Amino acid sequence: MEFKLAVLPGDGIGPEIIEEAVKVLGAVGNRFGHGFNLNYGLVGGVAIEKEGTSLSIDTLKMCRRSDAVLLGAVGDPKYDDPQAPVHPEDGLLALRKELGLFANLRPVTVYPSLIDNTNFKPEVIKGVDFIFVRELTGGLYFGRPKRQWRTSRGRRAVDSMVYSEQEIERIVRVGFGIARTRKKKLISVDKANVLQSSRLWRQVTIEASRDYPDIDLEHMLVDACAMRIIQNPRYLDVLVTENTFGDILTDEASMLGGSLGMLASASLAGVPKEGSRTLGMYEPSHGSAPRRARQDMANPIATIISMAMMLRYSLGLTEEAKKVEDAVEKVMEEGYRTYDIMGEGRTKVGTKKMGDLIAERAGG
């Protein structure tokens, strides 16, 4: 089959990790006889530099015309000044909003061969396997008012955590749907003891749960959830939560897998179904790590696993996705490690070598 993909490498380590994901994609494509038509575009700091905006209309159009979008990372210390008029991250947020990618899936997996390379006791993290369903186009990131202004008594600023019941309902239904394919248990994470938006979240979730009598629904406060992730992560299976809570909790949870460099992500415009075709954007959960850029150091695995999620959810290629995931697992078992997951007695490799190893096994 032929597929049309938009590829947006972005900033920092973005181009390097994307190159490896494309390498693995090529290998698995050859193996199964698929062709990928790749169209490259700019987003983030590089786009500001070359096109004067963090996301051009043309790039957005190109993404709309594609079967899926593969993205590296955005962010550049040049724009860290809080007074900067533009930010690379704006391009990423615009893509999520404009493409309607409200459902962000972030699976947390602990590879058995990596357990020794984490900060956790084996008995705590052995067998950990859960998934976050993070709402991605609402909440504090997009809510209005959102501004900074001067008053006679100094400066003030506001961000608004806004949710409509429709926005809540569609994301919790994604959570229930995924719970149905797993252990039939859904944890909805909120701060309903304090926040109005969370109280609505909880009501809407309870109402929606009537359509899923087979699913065991639990509400968990976000602070308790942060604790539970560290204390007893095996307790977790499917978690659904709003945008900012999801952002913070997923970085925390990534440490269970050894590194943020292992946490993949899929952002979808509809209900995910294996073998079906939903528009989606696939990117690692980590940032552009500018200090690691251009040193052949960065871990490309989160991007490669995100690409596998693309095969599964946007291109309908289930077997091919599995092949890539198995290739990653094999390379981990064989003891190859990038710097961030390096451990005693393992073989340290750079970005390119890691990509080669996975590509060989995915194409074999």
Binder of residue 258, out of Mg ion, ligand IPM, none (CB less than 5 to 8 A by kind): none
Least spacing, CB of residue 237 vs ligand IPM, in Å = 21
Interatomic CA distance for residues 70 and 270, integer angstroms:
17
Our answer to whether residue 251 is catalytic in this structure is yes
Please provide the distance, in angstroms rounded to a whole number, between the alpha carbons at the two ends of the chain.
19
Cβ-based nearer residue to ligand IPM, 177 or 246: 246
Our answer to whether residue 282 is catalytic in this structure is no
Stretch 72-91 residues interacting with ligand IPM (CB under 6 A): 75, 89
Point out the residue whose Cβ comes nearest to ligand IPM: 89
Binder of residue 287, out of ligand IPM, Mg ion, none (CB less than 5 to 8 A by kind): ligand IPM
Binder of residue 67, out of ligand IPM, Mg ion, none (CB less than 5 to 8 A by kind): none
Residue 267 as a binder of ligand IPM (CB under 6 A): the answer is no
The single residue of 76, 90, 247, 340 carrying the catalytic annotation is 247
Cβ-based nearer residue to ligand IPM, 88 or 233: 88
Helix axes 57-64, 88-98, angle to 10 degrees: 40
Give the contacts of 317 (CB within 8 A, at least 6 positions apart). Answer: 32, 34, 311
Q: Is the CA virtual torsion 256, 257, 263, 264 positive or negative?
A: negative
Note if the bond before 145 is cis, omega within 30 degrees: yes
The single residue of 159, 216, 237, 251 carrying the catalytic annotation is 251
Single residue of 45, 272, 287, 316 touching ligand IPM by CB under 6 A: 287
Residue 285 as a binder of ligand IPM (CB under 6 A): the answer is yes
The 8-class DSSP code of residue 102 comes to: -
Single residue of 135, 247, 283, 340 touching Mg ion by CB under 5 A: 247
The 8-class DSSP code of residue 117 comes to: G
The single residue of 58, 223, 296, 326 carrying the catalytic annotation is 223
Cβ-based nearer residue to ligand IPM, 73 or 114: 73
Report the SS3 class of residue 155. strand
- Contact between 103 and 26 (Cβ < 8 Å): no
Cβ-based nearer residue to ligand IPM, 75 or 258: 75
**Burial call 233-267: b when 16+ CB within 10 Å, e when fewer:** beebbbbbbbbbbbbebbeebbbbbbbbbbbbbbb
Least spacing, CB of residue 308 vs ligand IPM, in Å = 18
Binder of residue 89, out of ligand IPM, Mg ion, none (CB less than 5 to 8 A by kind): ligand IPM
Q: Count interface residues toward ligand IPM (CB under 6 A).
A: 6
Our answer to whether residue 50 is catalytic in this structure is no
Measured from the Cβ of residue 283, the count of other Cβ atoms closer than 10 Å reads 30
Nearest to 219 by CA among 174, 273, 175, 166: 175
Cβ-based nearer residue to ligand IPM, 54 or 205: 54
The single residue of 191, 212, 282, 336 carrying the catalytic annotation is 191
Interatomic CA distance for residues 8 and 66, integer angstroms:
12
Least spacing, CB of residue 93 vs ligand IPM, in Å = 6
Stretch 234-263 residues interacting with ligand IPM (CB under 6 A): 247
Our answer to whether residue 216 is catalytic in this structure is no
Our answer to whether residue 141 is catalytic in this structure is yes
Report the DSSP beta bridge partners of residue 239: 132, 187
Beta 103-109 vs 129-135: how paired, if at all?
antiparallel
**Percent helix / strand / coil, the chain, rounded to 5:** 45, 20, 35
Binding-residue pattern over the window 88 to 127 for ligand IPM, x denoting contact by CB under 6 A: -x--x-----------------------------------
Which pair of structure tokens corresponds to residue 155? Answer: 């400066």
Instruction: Please give the residue ranges that form the binding site for ligand IPM (CB under 6 A).
Output: 75, 89, 92, 247, 285, 287
Which residue ranges make up the site for Mg ion (CB under 5 A)? Answer: 247
Catalytic residues: 141, 191, 223, 247, 251
